[in-house]
Amino acid sequence: MLSLLKKRWVFADPDPATVERLAAGLKVSPLMATLLINRAITDEAEGRMFLDADLEGAHDPFLMRGMDKAVGRILEAIERDEGITIFGDYDVDGVTSTALMHHFFHDLGIRFDHYLPERMEEGYGVNDNALDEIKARGNKLVITADCGITAVKQVAYARTIGLDVIVTDHHQVPAEGLPDAVAVLNPFQPDCTYPFKFLSGVGIVFKLAVAVRRALHEAGWSADRLPNLKKHLDLFTLGTIADMAPLTGENHLLTHCGLEVLGTTEKPGLVALKSVAGIDGKVDASSIGFGLAPRLNAAGRLGKADSGLDLLVTHDQDEARRIAQKLDLINEQRKHTQQDVQNEAEYLIEREVDLERDKVLVLASENFHQGVIGIVASKLADKYYRPTFLIAIRDGMGKGSARSIPTFNLYKAMSQCADLFTQYGGHAYAAGLNIEAGRIDDFRKAINEVGAPYLTDDRMISEIKIDSTLDLKDISLEFYKAMQKLGPFGQVNTLPVFCSRRIRIRDFREIGRDRNHVRFRATHNKTSVDVVGFRLAETFRFLDPDTLIDIAYELNLNTWNGREKVELKLLDVMPSETSL
């Protein structure tokens, strides 16, 4: 039975004996043990590391294939005083990757510069013209940041003009193999034994910096010449969360520490960015995703990403404030552009798409702005719950961005249509492509044929995964604060979702300017808890107010006048008589 929002509720069912064993070993409640097990943590040692988030648990960077070669070449460049160019991507992950290496090399006092491509004119990744410019600067070593894994031809060209390349990238390795670089750092490459595969681009760069620092220390550099890399975990955390990397394993450990660094950072650019985003004091994953990242991303979406990079590397407070205010204005422009593209996409769906037939949405238009199609694709994938491609057409070529759902691996599916693209790359949930405009219809047909076996009706129902059923009397401020030890929450390590049954609605009211949100008190037996539900007013208009309901929700901390109270953020509802 589906909920009133047409979603399927899926309840976790951990083994009771495992719950009891883990709870006893970690000295936590059975509910906390359940939450750990639901996140695939069943071992006591792993659970303790997850809860303690001690940096001593970080992996040795030299376990990553190619790290020794990359470090050796960088030390050679330092010794010979060769110029190094950091070649980054224009999204938040790429910009923070470039900024982290910038700070590291600056602190070391070595000669370097950086290059970020312009999204509209150059597109994603390394290109020959950029390499020519880097060569003309007199540099001899290029280190890519969050890009380069597909740049087989470009790295080969770099060799012909006397440039060495180190590739650092976290995207899937293409079928044609690796670039012939000095070194490739990517945990997904064959024969890489690095224990954690899901570092973001800035994560791989951070590990490279750790390895170079260690090598310099072993080469005789004194401790006072070597920077403290912990202070750059603010950049690691910003890039990792913005790129929606899984917040498990090493990512969980480093972002847990990094959020503390970000909360007290002294980098003028991050201080100014937090100020324009209205973030004061503590920073969490939500304030990154909705406050910091969109503003930092805005420059790269609508033009050149250099403003975002300049913000992150400046040491001047006045310049930082000026750039942050500029990015805030650009972000407002981005919102308007994004809405225009979404309106156009919805129009195309209404006019051209048969939702019964087309399990994969492929929308193309000359009116799409290339800088925002990824965001809109994500929103449409959520709304229609199917893989979605948006392709911006310009001068006979299409540049596309895609987002997917859990039952459909984008990269693998696109690999089966590879002959239709001039370029493509990405991973299971997000990807990009270049395609001739005349081949878009062929691609639409091909990707739907690929998707047919996987996108059956029963697999295209949005699911809410519920960690545990709770009695309202078990909800407390003490449990909420204990649960925060599992954070930061994000991809894979999602915010826990709970269910309470046979709830009565009391003091119901519609709120908000458009009266499209709801507030009420959920009551069961003698316990009641405040509930807020965003954009759910229409749903409740179909319910008799005396109906007993089952609710799915997250726990939220409401702070008012210095007083803290736990309330429920409602996600979904169904009448108790029809509940699962």
pLDDT tens for residues 205-241? 999 999 999 999 999 999 999 999 999 999 999 999 9
- Distance CA(230)–CA(55), nearest Å, equals 9
- Other beta carbons within 10 angstroms of residue 1's beta carbon come to 10
pLDDT of residue 305: 63
pTM: 0.89
pLDDT of residue 560: 83
The correct CATH number of 8-12+463-578 out of 2.40.10.340, 2.40.50.460, 1.20.140.10, 3.40.50.2300 is 2.40.50.460
Q: What is the mean pLDDT of residues 386-396?
A: 96
61-327: CATH architecture: Alpha-Beta Complex (3.90)
The CA–CA distances, whole Å, from 232 to 96, 107, 209, 221, 272 equal: 10, 12, 10, 20, 17
pLDDT of residue 172: 86
124, pLDDT greater than 80: no
pLDDT of residue 579: 45
Sign, CA torsion 324/326/332/337 = negative
Least confident of 32-36, 311-315, 442-446, 546-550: 546-550
84, pLDDT greater than 90: yes
CATH code of 353-459, in short, is 3.10.310.30
**H/E/C letters for each residue in 336-365?**
HHHHHHHHHHHHHHHHHCCCCCCCCEEEEE
Q: Which two tokens stand for residue 230?
A: 């912990």
pLDDT of residue 306: 86
pLDDT of residue 120: 65
Domain range annotation of the chain: 8-12+463-578, 61-327, 353-459
pLDDT tens for residues 253-296? 999 999 999 999 999 999 999 999 999 878 999 999 999 999 99
pLDDT of residue 122: 65
578, pLDDT greater than 70: no
